Amino acid sequence: MPEQSRIQLQLRTLRDTINQHNHRYYALDDPDIPDAAYDRLMRELQDLEQQYPQWISADSPTQRVGSAPLDGFSQVTHEVPMLSLDNAFSGQEMDDFDRRLRGRLDRDQPLHYACEPKLDGIAVSLLYRDGVLERGATRGDGAVGEDITSNVRTIPSIPLRLLGDGWPRVLEVRGEIYMPRAGFDAFNEKARQQSEKLFVNPRNAAAGSLRQLDSRVTAQRPLEMCCYGVGLVEAYALPGKHTEILTLLQGWGFRINSEMRVANGMKDCLAYYDYLLAKRASLAYDIDGIVFKVDDIALQQRLGFVSRAPRWAIAHKFPAEEEMTTLLGVDFQVGRTGAITPVARLEPVFVGGVTVSNATLHNSDEILRLGVKINDTVVVRRAGDVIPKVVRVVLDKRPANASKIVFPARCPICESVIERLEGEAVSRCTGGLLCAAQLKEGIKHFASRKAMDIDGLGDKLVEQLVDEGLITSVVDLFSLQVTALVGLERMAEKSAAKLIAALQASKATTLPKFIFALGIREVGEATAVSLAKHFTSLEKIQQASIETLLEVPDVGPIVAQHLHDFFAASHSQQLLAGLLSAGFYWPAIEASKVQPLMGKIYVVSGSLESMGRIEAKERLQQLGAKVAGSVSAKTFCLVAGPGAGSKLTKAQQLGVDVIDETQFLALLKQYE
Ligand code: IVH
């Protein structure tokens, strides 16, 4: 073979191999070679192209870095208009939609619907000629958009050349470009550190990134593209189902949504809506609803279009996660550890599926960062079950009577001085348990389900007991008499007797629960379990030095200091003595059962079905294991879920033990 053809073949083979790996990595989330091996292939291609620049092709995977800035975007006329979707806001509207369609089609049986998350990004059209990306365009007004070819070329999940063969001569693929949440957070964090302007949400970040005239800037942004349909297609007979078309596109190198399903009838559609709404907060990207499309293309064609939207599709919107409202005032709440949290009192607003009238403002730095004043119009966000928060101020709407928020110098409950230690964001009341607010919160925590789980001792009752002066510490709970309780709001003799029995019953507990219930700063359930397993007795924890505390798997210097301070304080000693003499007890922990994985190094990779990676890590740490981020010769075992990728390859190369999720769960169970 002549030298020239040999090099060209080598270039072609390298590009094909890299494109295949790109596809597995960016479109399928299923890489099959380690990152380092991929980097080597890229470098090999770059070297070769540097030697033979005359053969650099526009579709080479090296050509994604962006190019010199444009003067402006030129216009693109969409051969097939880019339509929008009708919206439905309730199950009722969805039923109406389905009934309408079946009426038009004169059909009794249920329709099959393709269900897809409605990604919250920017619609894009990608035109491929003979398998090569020729043009990328925004939707614009649906008829005319902007040419953003050099920007879309920098997005790794957009193939520059289609995979496989046998594609249509002309193929227009449509989909959404978006910024995954993790990329958005990282991008904003970097911008914050460099005092640059932040994006308000991932959608704006995606839009802003695509609007760059300099595609080298776009290339730095973590954008992804997911396709949901086709536009112009020439000289090709596409499959008869929408979902089959998308699967075909996937084979050609595009990312399609892994949550796509086919539902049989409206009942299935509504179940899918509930399923994804529950999953919304844990997805890697923002969605604002579900798109339902009649799956059968022949039926789509019979149904046709009304004005600018297809009859055969609808977007069932989720409740908005952000809404505007007015900040009426700010209350300062005192937490269990004295932390002062400014809480925004809001004009009630329906957001994230509930009516919200309070939202957190976190701390004084956050108030400064937001630049918020009382009477301002603010944007409130409530995503999933997360506590609602004020995310920004709408400065355009600032009224004349907007007034400054003054952070108090003294505790609003006990009037002790509020202090803010250097390096801490939180301001605290210095009143300790003399502060009624801290006392109440401490008792509520002690009685809560995950702590002593005292039935019938709810927040309201705790507040009454403290306000009436019936208790001044947790210990006092255990000498309460029926006669003292009767007479409190909603407290008759029977419920009083029940409460006393529940208090009595709570004394039989476990050491981890008891430690957790004490409410020591930064000591959550997992840390309490680790402490109990490591030390096996309360006395040993009480006597532990900072150094010995640091030997416990998830105890760092801050937690160790808090533990040490707590046990050294005389009021804590009184509290412990009081609780023990009230009769608290727990089964002894056998020394042999402690920390069976002590000294062993584990790595967790890929996704697990039964728990997140963080939980898997904590469970291993509780058994004494060290959990590392990468596989090395020192690794004892790799827990590998689907998508474990390069770590799995490495473990196999090094002969490290690999276990799957089932084996991992069996391991945990063995030591439960
Ligand atoms: S289909 C003819 N599918 O929603 C139907 N659109 O209001 C065209 N969108 O501008 C759209 N995810 O950018 C479709 N899975 C999905 C989508 C989706 C997000 C956006 C799209 C469009 C808007 C329609």
Express each pLDDT in 158-196 by its tens digit. 999 999 989 999 999 999 999 999 999 999 999 989 988
Best CA proximity match to 286, nearest among 320, 243, 309: 320
- pLDDT by residue (tens digit) across 345-378? 999 999 988 999 999 999 999 999 999 999 999 9
Give the CA-trace dihedral at 601, 607, 608, 614, to 10 degrees. Answer: 60
Residue 397's CATH number: 2.40.50.140
What is the number of structural domains in the chain? 6
Q: Looking at the structure, do residues 248 and 109 belong to the same domain, yes or no?
A: yes
Asked if 136 and 264 sit in the same domain, the reply is: yes
* CA–CA distance, 30 with 645 (Å, rounded to integer): 7
Span from the CA of 624 to the centroid of ligand 1 (angstroms): 49
Tell me the CATH number at 14: 1.10.287.610
115 lines ligand 1 (CB under 6 A): no
Distance, CA 118 to ligand 1 centroid (Å)?
6
Residue 139 has pLDDT above 80, yes or no: yes
Say whether 118 is catalytic: yes
Residues 254 and 335 in one domain: no
SS3 of 206-245: HHHHHCCCCHHHHHCCCCEEEEEEEEEEECCCCCCEHHHH
Whether 552 is in the pocket of ligand 1, judged by its Cβ within 6 Å, is no
User: Can you give the CATH number for the domain in which 608 is found?
Assistant: 3.40.50.10190
Q: Does one domain contain both 361 and 379? A: yes
Pairing of strands 354-360, 170-178: unpaired
* Higher local confidence (pLDDT), 606 or 367: 367
Which residues are within 8 A (CB) of 412 and not within 5 positions of it... i.e. 6 or more apart?
332, 334
Number of alpha carbons in the 13 Å side-chain half-sphere of residue 672: 7
Same domain, 471 and 523: no
303 shares a domain with 339: no
Whole-number mean pLDDT of the chain?
92
Nearest ligand 1 atom to alpha carbon 117:
15
The residue count of the chain comes to: 672
Measuring from atom 21 of ligand 1, which residue has the nearest CA?
123
Nearest ligand 1 atom, CA 315: 7
Same-domain check for residues 312 and 329: no
pLDDT tops 80 at residue 20: yes
Instruction: Indicate the top mutation candidate among 116, 291, 300 to test ligand 1's pocket, ranked by most ligand atoms within 8 A of CB.
Output: 291
Residue nearest to atom 14 of ligand 1 (CA): 228
Residues 568 and 545 occupy one common structural domain: yes
Does residue 68 sit within a domain?
no
| 179-183, 429-433, 525-529, 653-657, range with greatest mean pLDDT | 179-183
φ, ψ (nearest 5 deg) of residue 339: -60, 135
pTM of the model: 0.70
Ligand 1 centre from 387 Cα, in Å? Answer: 30
State the distance from the centre of ligand 1 to the C-alpha of 495, rounded, in angstroms. Answer: 56
The tokens describing 326, both together, are 């007015």
Q: Is the pLDDT of residue 554 over 80?
A: no
Residue to mutate, 84, 224, 312, 314, ligand 1, most ligand atoms under 8 Å from C-beta: 84
Please state, in angstroms and rounded to a whole number, the distance separating the CA atoms of residues 363 and 66.
41
Give the pLDDT of residue 640.
92
Q: Which atom of ligand 1 is nearest to the CA of 116?
A: 15
Would 589 be classed as within a structural domain? no
**Mean pLDDT value of segment 405-431:** 94
Q: How far apart are CA 552 and CA 658, in angstroms?
A: 26
Beta-bridge partner residues of 161: 132
| Residue 121 within a domain | yes
pLDDT of residue 593: 62
Residues 250 and 135 in one domain: yes
Residue nearest to atom 2 of ligand 1 (CA): 83
CATH number at residue 255: 3.30.470.30
Tell me the residue range of the domain where 290 lies: 86-317
* Mean pLDDT confidence for 138-158: 94
pLDDT at 600: 85
Kindly give the distance from the C-alpha atom of residue 85 to the centroid of ligand 1, in angstroms, as a whole number: 7
Whole-angstrom distance, CA of residue 347 vs CA of residue 357:
6
Residue 341 lies in a domain: yes
Ligand 1 atom 9: residue of nearest CA: 118
133/115 same-domain check: yes
- Residue 176: CB within 6 Å of ligand 1? yes
Distance of CA 113 from the midpoint of ligand 1 (Å): 15
- Provide the token pair at 490: 């909603």
Q: Is 551 in the same domain as 610?
A: no
Domain boundary among 551, 582, 613: 582
Pair (372, 291) in one structural domain: no
How far does residue 226's CA lie from ligand 1's centre (Å)? 11
Half-sphere exposure (CA, 13 Å, Cβ side) for 118?
20
Residue ending a domain, among 276, 301, 317, is 317
310 lines ligand 1 (CB under 6 A): yes
* Report for 77-91, 200-214, 288-302, 611-625: range of highest mean pLDDT: 288-302
Find how far residue 575's CA is from the centre of its chain: 39
Question: Residue 12 CA to chain centroid, in angstroms?
Answer: 40
**Which amino acid would we find at residue 555?**
V
Last residue of a domain, one of 358, 386, 419: 419
623 occurs within a structural domain: yes
72 domain-assigned: no
Atom of ligand 1 nearest to the CA of 122: 13
Residue 383 — very low, low, confident or very high, per pLDDT cuts 50/70/90? confident
Contact criterion met (CB below 8 Å) for 375 and 403: yes
CB of 285 within 8 A of CB of 178? yes
Looking at residue 591, its pLDDT comes to 64
Which atom of ligand 1 has the smallest separation from the CA of 229?
1
Q: Is the CB of 578 under 6 A from ligand 1?
A: no
76 assigned to some structural domain: no
In a domain, 460, yes or no: yes
* Whether pLDDT at 592 is above 60: no
Q: Whose CA is nearest to atom 12 of ligand 1?
A: 118
Q: What is the pLDDT of residue 401?
A: 96
